[in-house]
Chains A and B, each alone.
Chain A
Amino acid sequence: SRVLPQLSPAPAPQASSVQHRLVVRDASSLQILQLYTCLDQIQHIEWSSDSLFILCAMYKRGIVQVWSLEQPDWHCKIDEGSAGLVASCWSPDGRHILNTTEFHLRITVWSLCTKSVSYIKYPKACQQGVAFTKDGRYMAVAERRDCKDFISIFVCNNWQLLRHFDTETQDLFGIEWAPNGCVLAAWDTCLEYKVLLYSLDGRLLSSYSAYEWPLGIKSIAWSPSSQFLAIGSFDEKVRILNHVTWKKIIELDHPATITSKKTIVYKEVEKSPTVDTERLSFPPTRALANSLFSTQSKYEISQVPVSLQYIKPVADRANPKVGVGMLAFSADNCFLATKNDNIPNAVWIWDVRRLKLSVVLEQLCTIQAFQWDPCQPRLAVCTGSSRVYLWSPAGCVVVQVPGEGDFQITSISWHSSGDSMLLLSKDNFCVCYLQREEV
């Protein structure tokens, strides 16, 4: 049974779905507030921006159902019919739903306020084809017509087309707005290293290409102040462009050996569990059994130079596990966290002000995901084990998820207040609350 928990943007509830049921809980107590039943197995749930509505998308049936929290009786069902459904999302105003039909034939914009429906033709079937500005005013859609890529910019207010221009890309892979909403970054597929920067009014501001033939861009991230654009590529490097000249200011390398004396390397080591032999009882209690067999771990500081575990992947596979695949700026624009897929156990944390490597976290297992706290420079990392790792400039800590059995954390989601985070495993989830230090 799939579980898709979602923390709402607002501090209040938290929704998760089990099979065809939608469960709404209180975020702080996890008490069930509401329970809805949908028509089919839910693949995707999403809160609206004002936390009043939840959409539940069932791709197999091609149906989207919308529920209201204020009025539990209110219901809404959108049926795409034979057009099929591959993706569904809210618009920033929380009153429109964008459904992408099968084969990316079109995007239908359903309105909850009016009876109007809008269609966007020829959307591009790529990773990030639709991007909303942070303030929710404009929407950029990647399109492809006649084997050429285009970008359309719509005003979210009235869904009017503002600009439509073609891009000089081979095969547009993704688009992303800068947080200030004035610049749109568009990048090409990994076969071609190319980043194009467009202004809000459709003018091409600049284009950047680091090299020609080897595999190109793997990941992109804007800094929260829109000053920097970090580009992670398959050559295990991150290149940072500045917003004034759109030229590269630095190349951050991810070598397997760290030699700089100023870098702190935290290594996760396993603690062998201490067994209090006096307390052993027969038959052993479950708690005891768990504590005996669950491996504890802690962080240790390794002495530089440190050589990390480097994996050279097979060369003849597509989408190799090479290069910088994960990239994220901290909320205060001070740190950049990266992951080099060649060194899958390490998280690299760079100091943005000095553009130098500040910390490396070396874990025991492969990094699955990491996410920055939306309020503070605090990074949460998960590696598929039952521990979540937290790093902040003050230090780092290993948090064990208490409980029986194995809880393999596969993804993390912070609450917008930064007080709690959602830890998801395949079938379960748990909420981790962080106490504020009392001053």
Chain B
Amino acid sequence: MGDWKTITVPVLSSDSKNIHPYTSERKRSPISMNSQVLRLSLPSPKNMHSFFSAFCTEENLDQSISYIDRELTTLGFPSIYAESKGKEINLVSMINCMNELLVLQHKNLRAQEEVEMQHLKLGSDMDHLQNCYAKLKEQLELSKREVVGLQERDRQLQSKNRNLHQLLKNEKDEVQKLQNIISSRATQYNHDMKRKEREYNKLKERLHQLVMNKKDKRLAMEVLNYVGRADGKRGAWRTDKTEARNEEEMYKVLLSDYEQRQKQLLLENAELKKVLQQMKKDIISLLPPQKQKPKERCEDGLVLSDQEEDIGELNKENMWELSCETVREQLTNSIRKQWRMLKNHVEKLDNQVSRGRSGALNEKDVISREDHELETEKLELEIQQCKEMIKTQQQLLQQQLTCDDDTTLLLQDCYLLEERERLQEEWRLFREQKKNFEKERKSFTEAAIRLGLERKAFEEDRGTWLKHQFLSMTADCRSENVTTQSSDPDIRLVKSASRQRKTPSVLTPTVSPEPCQISQYITQNSVASEKPAADNMPNLWVESDDKEETE
């Protein structure tokens, strides 16, 4: 927005109030300017007229014009005066300026609208943010209160805990105290007991003395005669030797007992070692060979070498006798190692199985479950079908074999009857056909004979005709005029031909006229090789007709 300059505007009418704020407030903030502009852009219709007439009146026309010109030029518009400083207004430029001003006004209005929009948006955003802020504040308050509550509870629980601990300590202390009391009382009782015992002993001694002093002669043993010792030996005097011997014997007894126990333990030990060896061998055999994987080679190498070593060493017979620490340790350590390896192997297998179940096809040789199931279903179906087939077959077989004799015979008879009837039917047909065939053959032979006869006659006729012809020809040569006569044989030929044509219709399996016989014969011969089926016969005759006509 450009600078708003103060100008000395001539005193206007009272309606100029509107302008004053307009001009003097040039340094206001854009917002206020906007608001001012807002106000200005929508002047009330009442004031419109007055407003527009307030600035320029008829008196200050020149001044206003010059003022406007100045303003426009400062704004960058061309002067509205026509060329020189003359007072003539360049209308065109004025209108242009006006247009420019309008355009500018529109632009400004649009900008204003945009700004207003933005303003609204910002306002709503702010409202929204304020709401959020309020909510969050509420939430914060709530959580603060909760925290305080929880802290309170925690404090209470801790104090309870402390109380319980204190109680426990008190109980423990009491128990300890009671135990101390018991022990102190026990010592007191022991002490008292000892005192009483001493007194008692003293009394006993006193009594004993008194009793012994009496020198009781009765204190004796009366025996008729002394009995021999159970083992027959004499009693021995108590000497050092006997003492030594006693000691010796005692130690012998103890030693024999220990030796026996040691023997038992050795046996047990040997057995256990054997069992361990066996176990080791079994475990080694169970484990898969791990020689391929290079990663674990160093471990394996060690293990294998250990294994070999162990096997080599401990398989020796002498080693079994040795029960020194190193051998024992070796054995137990190797067994532990093998067992661990076996355990790992089993765990791996377990994992594999569980993975396989969950459907992952990591290994080639692990078949997915669905395929497996499909296969099994297919196989089951097949089995079912086969079973059914077998069943039906068996049933049939059973029927055949294990039926009653009567039924089988009946069945067989039935079949036989059926077949027999069929055969009989066929025979009948066959016989019929045979008969027909015979009949035809007879007729054919007769026809053949007739044909032969006719042929002969025809030949004779032909000969005679040829003779006649020859004769006539020679006669004709004499008389050239007799052309009609030549036609006679033609006519005769024609007649004979027509006679030939006529005769097929009359033809029946019976007698046939002479000229046709040749063709008949020919056709018969061609057909004779075919089967004498009753159906085919009419066709033969038709064929012969055709053939005759073509000839």
- Chain A interfacial positions (CB closer than 8 Å to B): 49-50, 53, 66, 68, 73-83, 93-95, 103, 105-106, 110-117, 137-138, 144, 146-147, 155, 157-158, 160, 162, 170-171, 180-182, 191, 199-201, 213, 244
Expressed in whole angstroms, the Cα–Cα distance for A336 and B228 within the complex equals 41
Known: A162-B250, A200-B250. A78 touches B242 (CB 8 A): no
Q: Are A160 and B243 in contact (CB under 8 A)?
A: yes
Expressed in whole angstroms, the Cα–Cα distance for A75 and B223 within the complex equals 6
B309 CB within 8 Å of chain A: no
| Minimum CB distance partner of A71 in chain B | B224
Q: Are B257 and A79 in contact (CB under 8 A)?
A: no
Q: Are B227 and A95 in contact (CB under 8 A)?
A: yes
**Closest Cβ–Cβ distance, residue A284 to chain B (whole Å):** 57
Expressed in whole angstroms, the Cα–Cα distance for A114 and B236 within the complex equals 11
Expressed in whole angstroms, the Cα–Cα distance for A146 and B261 within the complex equals 38
The answer, among B190, B219, B221, B243, for a CB contact under 8 Å with A170, is: B190
Q: Are A93 and B230 in contact (CB under 8 A)?
A: yes
| Interfacial chain A residues near B223, Cβ < 8 Å | 66, 75-77, 112
**Closest Cβ–Cβ distance, residue B539 to chain A (whole Å):** 103
| Interfacial chain B residues near A94, Cβ < 8 Å | 230
B220 CB within 8 Å of chain A: yes
Expressed in whole angstroms, the Cα–Cα distance for A97 and B451 within the complex equals 165
Given contacts A95-B229, A114-B235, A160-B246, 11 further A-B contacts (CB under 8 A): A74-B224, A82-B219, A138-B250, A157-B236, A158-B246, A160-B238, A170-B190, A182-B254, A182-B257, A191-B186, A244-B265
Q: List 11 A-B contacts (CB under 8 A).
A: A74-B225, A74-B227, A77-B223, A79-B220, A83-B216, A83-B219, A112-B227, A113-B235, A114-B226, A201-B251, A244-B261
Known: A94-B230, A103-B204. A200 touches B254 (CB 8 A): yes
Closest 10 CB pairs of A and B: A81-B219, A81-B216, A76-B223, A182-B257, A147-B194, A81-B218, A93-B230, A78-B221, A112-B227, A77-B222
Expressed in whole angstroms, the Cα–Cα distance for A294 and B34 within the complex equals 129
The answer, among B208, B231, B235, for a CB contact under 8 Å with A158, is: B235
Expressed in whole angstroms, the Cα–Cα distance for A195 and B37 within the complex equals 116
Expressed in whole angstroms, the Cα–Cα distance for A162 and B248 within the complex equals 11
Expressed in whole angstroms, the Cα–Cα distance for A73 and B220 within the complex equals 20
Q: Are A82 and B246 in contact (CB under 8 A)?
A: no
Known: A83-B211, A94-B230, A213-B182. A160 touches B219 (CB 8 A): no
Expressed in whole angstroms, the Cα–Cα distance for A112 and B211 within the complex equals 25
| Minimum CB distance partner of B211 in chain A | A82
Expressed in whole angstroms, the Cα–Cα distance for A270 and B159 within the complex equals 63
The answer, among A75, A76, A147, A180, for a CB contact under 8 Å with B198, is: A147
Within 8 A of A (CB), among B243-271: 243, 246-247, 249-251, 253-254, 257, 261, 265
**Closest Cβ–Cβ distance, residue B238 to chain A (whole Å):** 6
Expressed in whole angstroms, the Cα–Cα distance for A265 and B230 within the complex equals 48
B197 CB within 8 Å of chain A: yes
Q: Are A82 and B214 in contact (CB under 8 A)?
A: yes
Q: Are B224 and A79 in contact (CB under 8 A)?
A: no
Within 8 A of A (CB), among B168-222: 179, 182, 186, 190, 193-194, 197-198, 204, 207-208, 211, 214, 216, 218-222
**Closest Cβ–Cβ distance, residue B469 to chain A (whole Å):** 139
Q: Are A93 and B222 in contact (CB under 8 A)?
A: no
Q: Are A158 and B219 in contact (CB under 8 A)?
A: no
Q: Are B246 and A79 in contact (CB under 8 A)?
A: no
Known: A77-B221, A158-B242. A112 touches B226 (CB 8 A): yes
| Interfacial chain B residues near A171, Cβ < 8 Å | 193
The answer, among B219, B221, B242, B247, for a CB contact under 8 Å with A76, is: B221
The answer, among A68, A77, A113, A115, for a CB contact under 8 Å with B229, is: A113
| Interfacial chain A residues near B190, Cβ < 8 Å | 170
Most buried by B among A49, A82, A180: A82
The answer, among A83, A105, A113, A162, for a CB contact under 8 Å with B228, is: A113
Most buried by A among B194, B197, B204, B250: B250
The answer, among A49, A79, A93, for a CB contact under 8 Å with B221, is: A79
Expressed in whole angstroms, the Cα–Cα distance for A113 and B226 within the complex equals 5
**Closest Cβ–Cβ distance, residue A170 to chain B (whole Å):** 7
| Interfacial chain B residues near A73, Cβ < 8 Å | 224
**Closest Cβ–Cβ distance, residue B408 to chain A (whole Å):** 64
Expressed in whole angstroms, the Cα–Cα distance for A167 and B231 within the complex equals 34
Expressed in whole angstroms, the Cα–Cα distance for A175 and B499 within the complex equals 163
| Interfacial chain A residues near B179, Cβ < 8 Å | 213
Chain B 464-493 near chain A by CB (<8 Å), digits 1 or 0: 000000000000000000000000000000
| Interfacial chain A residues near B265, Cβ < 8 Å | 244
| Minimum CB distance partner of A94 in chain B | B230
Expressed in whole angstroms, the Cα–Cα distance for A180 and B221 within the complex equals 35
**Closest Cβ–Cβ distance, residue B448 to chain A (whole Å):** 115
| Interfacial chain A residues near B231, Cβ < 8 Å | 93
Q: Are A110 and B221 in contact (CB under 8 A)?
A: yes
**Closest Cβ–Cβ distance, residue B240 to chain A (whole Å):** 11
| Minimum CB distance partner of B195 in chain A | A147
**Closest Cβ–Cβ distance, residue A98 to chain B (whole Å):** 13
Q: Are A76 and B224 in contact (CB under 8 A)?
A: yes
Expressed in whole angstroms, the Cα–Cα distance for A115 and B222 within the complex equals 10
| Minimum CB distance partner of B197 in chain A | A147
Expressed in whole angstroms, the Cα–Cα distance for A160 and B244 within the complex equals 11
Expressed in whole angstroms, the Cα–Cα distance for A415 and B182 within the complex equals 48
| Minimum CB distance partner of A117 in chain B | B221
Expressed in whole angstroms, the Cα–Cα distance for A73 and B223 within the complex equals 11
| Interfacial chain A residues near B224, Cβ < 8 Å | 73-76
The answer, among B216, B229, B236, B238, for a CB contact under 8 Å with A93, is: B229
**Closest Cβ–Cβ distance, residue B258 to chain A (whole Å):** 8
| Minimum CB distance partner of A114 in chain B | B235
**Closest Cβ–Cβ distance, residue A125 to chain B (whole Å):** 10
| Interfacial chain B residues near A68, Cβ < 8 Å | 227
| Interfacial chain B residues near A147, Cβ < 8 Å | 194, 197-198
**Closest Cβ–Cβ distance, residue A109 to chain B (whole Å):** 11
| Interfacial chain B residues near A66, Cβ < 8 Å | 223
| Interfacial chain A residues near B251, Cβ < 8 Å | 201
Known: A79-B218, A160-B243, A200-B254. A115 touches B230 (CB 8 A): no
| Interfacial chain B residues near A117, Cβ < 8 Å | 221
The answer, among A50, A110, A114, A116, for a CB contact under 8 Å with B230, is: A50
Expressed in whole angstroms, the Cα–Cα distance for A191 and B185 within the complex equals 13
Expressed in whole angstroms, the Cα–Cα distance for A155 and B179 within the complex equals 44
| Interfacial chain B residues near A50, Cβ < 8 Å | 230
| Interfacial chain B residues near A244, Cβ < 8 Å | 261, 265
Q: Are A155 and B246 in contact (CB under 8 A)?
A: yes
Expressed in whole angstroms, the Cα–Cα distance for A73 and B229 within the complex equals 19
Known: A81-B219, A82-B216. A180 touches B242 (CB 8 A): no
Q: Are A95 and B230 in contact (CB under 8 A)?
A: yes
